[in-house]
């Protein structure tokens, strides 16, 4: 009798566990899966968008570029082919938000170090100050991994146009020349098709965590 009850008890435990698993699977299947937005210029604050692309509602991608990184190497879109990447705008002498942004980008670098299809790209908004030597000094101070993260400088007009026509990420102040920029705190998530998939406040740890979660969603979309 005791043996029968013991077997019945074991069967009951297995049934409860199996039921719980089935309920969880049904619940998970019914939950709406998060889909990342494909951002177009018309969806972004007009202060951050050049007037020539401001009303574009589809087919927006990051334009080709040719810039110089902290090692004096030429960096182009080819270096980011078939890569997901996170971009931002900064300058090495910035005393306010840049140190926080760089610290958080370094944290992202640590978290993606084993992900071969994810890279980082930081553009200087003061290329006349941020020479290759200055960028290299900054990179060494901040622990930049050259294989994962390019800090780039170059022609100011090109960086300005990338910022406002491609990444939709900086304001213009217009008081120091035609290509003056006020960079924002935005980190920009770019997919393998060069489309913008998210904007995040690079000074806030909770936004960085959201970025990392969206990065997982984006990576999974290529695996399914």
Task: For residues 183 and 98, give the distance between their C-alpha atoms in angstroms, rounded to a whole number.
Answer: 10
Contact between residue 91 and residue 127 where contact means Cβ atoms under 8 Å apart: no
183 is in an annotated binding site: yes
DSSP per-residue letters across 20-34: HHHHHHHHHHHSPPP
| 130 DSSP 8-state letter | -
Contact between residue 132 and residue 146 where contact means Cβ atoms under 8 Å apart: no
Residue 157 CA: distances (Å) to CA of 73, 128, 148, 163, 187: 19, 11, 25, 10, 21
Tokens read off for 21 = 């698993």
Task: For residues 20 and 123, give the distance between their C-alpha atoms in angstroms, rounded to a whole number.
Answer: 50
Contact between residue 167 and residue 91 where contact means Cβ atoms under 8 Å apart: no
Residue 84 CA: distances (Å) to CA of 51, 75, 87, 112: 27, 16, 10, 11
Closest CA to 197 of 170, 223, 224, 167: 167
Residues comprising the binding site? 94, 98, 183
Residues comprising the binding site for Cu cation? 94, 98, 183
């Amino acid at each position: 009798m005791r043996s029968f009850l013991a077997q019945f008890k074991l069967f009951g435990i297995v049934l409860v566990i199996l039921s719980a698993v089935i309920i969880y699977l049904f619940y998970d299947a019914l939950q709406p899966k998060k889909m990342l937005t494909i951002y177009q210029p018309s969806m972004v604050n007009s202060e951050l968008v050049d007037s020539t692309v401001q009303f574009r509602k589809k087919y927006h991608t990051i334009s080709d570029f040719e810039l110089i990184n902290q090692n004096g190497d030429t960096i182009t879109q080819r270096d980011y082919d078939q890569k997901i990447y996170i971009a931002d705008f900064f300058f090495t002498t910035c005393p306010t938000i840049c140190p926080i942004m760089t610290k958080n980008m370094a944290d992202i670098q640590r978290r993606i170090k084993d992900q071969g299809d994810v890279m980082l790209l930081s553009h200087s908004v003061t290329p006349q100050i941020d020479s290759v030597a200055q960028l290299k000094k900054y990179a060494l101070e901040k622990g930049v991994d050259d294989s994962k993260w390019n800090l780039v400088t170059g022609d100011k007009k090109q960086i300005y146009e990338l910022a406002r026509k491609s990444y939709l990420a900086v304001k213009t102040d217009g008081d120091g020349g035609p290509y003056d920029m006020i960079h924002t705190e935005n980190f920009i998530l770019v997919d393998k098709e060069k489309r913008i998939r998210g904007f995040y406040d690079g000074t806030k740890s909770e936004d960085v965590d959201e970025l990392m979660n969206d990065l997982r969603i984006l990576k999974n979309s290529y695996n399914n």
